[in-house]
Amino acid sequence: MNKIRFLTAGESHGQALTSIIEGIPAGLPLSEDDIAAQLVRRQRGYGRGGRMKIEHDRAQIMSGVRYGQTLGSPISLLLFNQDWPNWTHKMSVTAVDEAAAKLQMPRPGHADFAGMVKYRTDDVRNILERSSARETAMRVAAGAVARRLLEEFNIRIYGHVLRIGSAAADFSAVAFTRQTPASELELFFARAEASPVVCADQVAERKMIALIDQGKEKGDSLGGLFEVVATGCPVGLGSHVHWDRKLDAQIAASMMSINAMKAVEIGLGRDVATLFGSQVHDELFYDETRGFHRVRNHAGGIEGGMTNGEPVVVRVAMKPLPTMPTPLRSVNVASKEATVAHYERADVCAVPAAVVVAEAMLAFVLANALVDKVGGDSMSEMKANFDRLANAPLEW
């Protein structure tokens, strides 16, 4: 368990973000361009704030790679914050003669108040700098490494937006099965990728953009609903034998660890509560041409905590961001007087960016499950084990 893991460090306006990734096998082709491509995707999206005009994220590989291939040793990544020169005093690591003014108006919906109480600080900046979505830039960088590992085994990860506020698309990736032609699936996600709100439904896209414009005008924020999908997963990643080995449990935990995520569903999700069992469960068929197969994927590719060979479909709900130009009511924790919440530069809507972060987290969970399943300290060993598993006859 947890053969692949990662840690991140850094503050939103600190000098840099860093990460250490452990457990990637030796011999995986990896370049900084592979990581940069995902970081660019994270910075996209209609409704993003001014920070995206400042940062041009590119992570440096500091260790664990030689001549374009992983060594099997820990990989360390470094991503400098371009805005750091403007924050050298406020975020100084060393002591200063005169500290910056304290922020003492916590934002409802943020980690501010609970963090101030937990860590016994009277300055909310000590909390908000770490509890910031800026940290997800390094998750995406680290997740790009896991994606490269999965790609070597033809496991692909996609994402798209279903809803922003009240504007919703009418198509869920639960409609895709292992029998869906690759061209159809790739065309759908290519349309989403080309959209400013990462939505393949052009009618819904226009409504989403109009809502974001409305939110910006009001000084408000918007959340939404999105799906991340993994295709090509072999049967049997995860396990049914313990609570912490169930793959859907691991996926749910990884999604809920992302800032502002409030709910996770697999496959049909909560809709299963409204249907008969005969309408929910995916019947199993067999023929000589296709082998074992399904004609629908309501389970979202996971049964009993294990992949069943169908696309893994994860749906995630994101709340509106709690930082708004028109702030909510709060209390000054020092004076106890009524006030309004602190305003820190923020996005109107970050749902399109959250898709990329969720893809990165799904990549890590699946990469870890794959290594746990097939083993191997090198890519050649992993591939040999994977091929042997894939070609083993099914006998009971």
Phi and psi angles of residue 190, each rounded to the nearest 5 degrees, phi first: -65, -40
Q: In the predicted model, is pLDDT for residue 217 greater than 70?
A: yes
pLDDT score of 252: 98
Q: In the predicted model, is pLDDT for residue 16 greater than 70?
A: yes
The domain ranges of the chain are 5-391
Residues 281, 286, 290, 291, Cα dihedral to 10°: 100
Q: In the predicted model, is pLDDT for residue 17 greater than 60?
A: yes
pLDDT score of 284: 95
What is the rounded distance in angstroms from the CA atom of residue 339 to the CA atom of residue 106? 10
pLDDT score of 391: 76
pLDDT digits (tens, 9 = 90+) for 99-151: 999 999 999 999 999 999 999 999 999 999 999 999 999 999 999 999 999 99
CB 248 within 8 A of CB 373: no
- Kind of pairing, strands 75-80 and 16-22? antiparallel
pLDDT digits (tens, 9 = 90+) for 322-353: 998 998 999 999 999 999 998 887 899 999 99
- State pTM to two decimals: 0.95
pLDDT digits (tens, 9 = 90+) for 268-303: 999 999 999 999 999 999 998 888 999 999 999 999
pLDDT digits (tens, 9 = 90+) for 34-77: 999 999 999 988 987 655 566 689 999 999 999 999 999 999 99
Question: Which of the four pLDDT bands, split at 50, 70 and 90, describes residue 396?
Answer: low
Question: Which of the four pLDDT bands, split at 50, 70 and 90, describes residue 181?
Answer: very high
Amino acid 52 reads M
* Per-residue CA distances from 221 to 3, 48, 49, 112, 161 (Å): 38, 11, 11, 18, 16
Residue with the larger pLDDT of the pair 55 and 255? 255
pLDDT score of 317: 98
β-partners of residue 303 are 306
What is the rounded distance in angstroms from the CA atom of residue 2 to the CA atom of residue 125? 33
pLDDT score of 51: 56
What value does the mean pLDDT of the chain take?
A: 94
Phi and psi angles of residue 120, each rounded to the nearest 5 degrees, phi first: 50, 55
Return the CATH architecture of domain 5-391.
4-Layer Sandwich (3.60)
Phi and psi angles of residue 41, each rounded to the nearest 5 degrees, phi first: -65, -35
pLDDT score of 160: 98
Residue 146: closest CA among 284, 241, 30: 30
pLDDT score of 346: 82
Amino acid 6 reads F
pLDDT score of 306: 98
β-partners of residue 351 are none
Q: Considering only CA atoms, give the Rg of the chain.
A: 22
Q: In the predicted model, is pLDDT for residue 87 greater than 90?
A: yes
pLDDT score of 186: 95
User: CB-based burial of residue 112 (10 Å sphere; 0-12 exposed, 13-18 middle, 19+ buried)?
Assistant: buried
User: CB-based burial of residue 171 (10 Å sphere; 0-12 exposed, 13-18 middle, 19+ buried)?
Assistant: middle
Residues of the chain with pLDDT > 90, as a percent, come to: 90
Q: Where are the beta strands (DSSP E) in 72-124?
A: 75-80
